[in-house]
């Protein structure tokens, strides 16, 4: 329980003992502390309650809001605050340039999370899903196969010739096949052992 809340309750208890009404007590406390929730505490003190701490709750106590955790978080935030400020400034500037309609009416909220739901899980290297591996490299391999080259330069020249013969429809076919393979991968839950040909 933060000390300020306890202090407010102690002062409210004092006002109740002085016989001040709930409205008068609320106005005085709001003048000192700003907006707070005092209604139910005024009633409790008027009915004879003496303790200012909350009643013990049933169940496991909250372990995330400990003073130790709060100080650790404050330390992290203070340590990286300049870096965070610079990052946010950069991102705000990008929003201002790329989405001026949102910037003008101030109707946007910056939200960045690295939630895994936004990403497709698959193996880090999956040759059956990489367009170069399932389409381009086999084309080069078949053109270069069974040929003896005198130098590395000759290999580069032949590979360049093969690549220059490719047309737009070849690339379109590649990406259509890639899409089909990705859909199969998603359909099977990204199974690493699934071979997609």
- pLDDT per residue as tens digits for the range 42-81: 677 777 777 777 777 777 767 777 788 888 888 877 776 6
Q: Are residues 125 and 183 in the same domain?
A: yes
Task: Name the percent of the chain lying above pLDDT 90.
Answer: 5
Nearest to 7 by CA among 27, 26, 23, 29: 29
pLDDT for 162 beyond 80: yes
CA–CA separation, 197 and 195 (whole Å): 6
Cβ distance 127 to 134 under 8 Å?
yes
SS (HEC) of 3-18: HHHHHHHHHHHHHHHC
pTM of the model: 0.30
Q: Are residues 126 and 174 in the same domain?
A: yes
Whole-Å CA distances, 67 to 63, 71, 72, 90, 98: 10, 6, 9, 33, 42
DSSP reduced 3-state for 164: helix
Q: Are residues 10 and 42 in the same domain?
A: yes
Domain that holds residue 160: 121-187
Cβ distance 33 to 4 under 8 Å?
yes
Domain assignment present for residue 127? The answer is yes
Q: Are residues 136 and 166 in the same domain?
A: yes
Spatial neighbors of 136 by CB under 8 A, at least 6 apart, are 174
Domain assignment present for residue 196? The answer is no
Whole-Å CA distances, 66 to 1, 51, 152, 180: 10, 22, 66, 51
pLDDT for 86 beyond 50: yes
Domain assignment present for residue 12? The answer is yes
């Amino acid at each position: 329980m933060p000390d300020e809340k306890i202090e407010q309750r102690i002062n409210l208890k004092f006002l109740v003992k002085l016989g001040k009404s709930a409205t008068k007590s609320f106005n005085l406390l709001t003048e000192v502390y700003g907006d707070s929730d005092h209604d139910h505490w005024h009633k409790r003190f008027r009915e004879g309650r003496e303790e200012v701490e909350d009643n013990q709750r049933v169940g496991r106590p909250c372990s995330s809001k400990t003073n130790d955790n709060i100080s650790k978080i404050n330390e992290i935030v203070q340590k990286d605050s300049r870096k965070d400020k610079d990052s946010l400034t950069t991102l705000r500037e990008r929003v201002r340039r790329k989405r001026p309609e949102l910037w003008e009416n101030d109707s946007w909220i910056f939200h960045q999370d690295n939630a895994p739901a936004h990403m497709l899980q698959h193996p880090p290297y999956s040759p059956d899903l990489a367009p170069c591996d399932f389409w381009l490299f086999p084309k080069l391999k078949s053109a270069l196969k069974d040929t003896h080259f005198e130098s590395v330069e000759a290999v580069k020249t032949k590979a360049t010739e093969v690549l220059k013969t490719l047309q737009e429809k070849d690339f379109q076919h590649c990406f259509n096949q890639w899409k089909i393979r990705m859909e199969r991968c998603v359909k099977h839950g990204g199974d690493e052992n699934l071979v997609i040909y």
